[in-house]
Amino acid sequence: MKRHGILAGSEGADKPGSDMAEPLSPFQHDCEGRLSRALQEIGLRLDERTVGIVRGLVFATDAPESYVEARIAGTELKVFIYEDGAEISGGGIDDRFEQADYDSLDELATAFVARAVAHALATPGGRPASPKPRKVLLWFLLVTVLVAMLAIYWAHEAYPKSRVANALWLLMWGWGSVAAVLSTVMVSRKRKR
């Protein structure tokens, strides 16, 4: 259930960002702190933070519950941290973390922070999940070396007694060795992930 969508009344203290919001629980402070630290490690931060109160989740007489709402800067992702759960939404994502699904609130917070960071890295505006520009550059280098090797092979076959062709032939084998090492490194790194 989306708790942040159910606000009692239409004005006043129960609006998000209200100054009259109830104090946050230890879980909310801990979870928000963990998320902030984890985002800082990858160069992101929480932005547009507000605290609100949800009244009457099931019945109008239910006790009010405070929540934290924030956006992960540079992304479409919003996070909500409740007294006993959390949520990530935006950009086609709708992940919910409820106390009943975890052995402890600590385990819930760990799962929530890990998933939020993963979504932030994979979301446009966050950082890319893999170093694609470097990978493209390495493939370009590999293809260029292979084309050069073919050209040098042709020159060596066409002019077998030429010193320049022989020097290029030796250079080709050197570049071929470098290309083989690079491709091996690229494949082995991909397997480790």
Q: What is the pLDDT of residues 146-163, one digit of tens each?
A: 777 777 777 767 777 777
Contact between 35 and 46 (Cβ < 8 Å): yes
Sheet holding 93-98, edge to edge: 46-54, 65-72, 78-81, 85-90, 93-98
Residue numbers of the chain with a pLDDT score lower than 50: 1-2, 4-21, 128-131, 193
pLDDT score, position 5 = 43
CB contact burial 53-71 (16+ within 10 A = b; e otherwise): bbbbeeeeeeeebbbbbbb
pLDDT score, position 126 = 57
Question: pTM of the full predicted structure?
Answer: 0.55
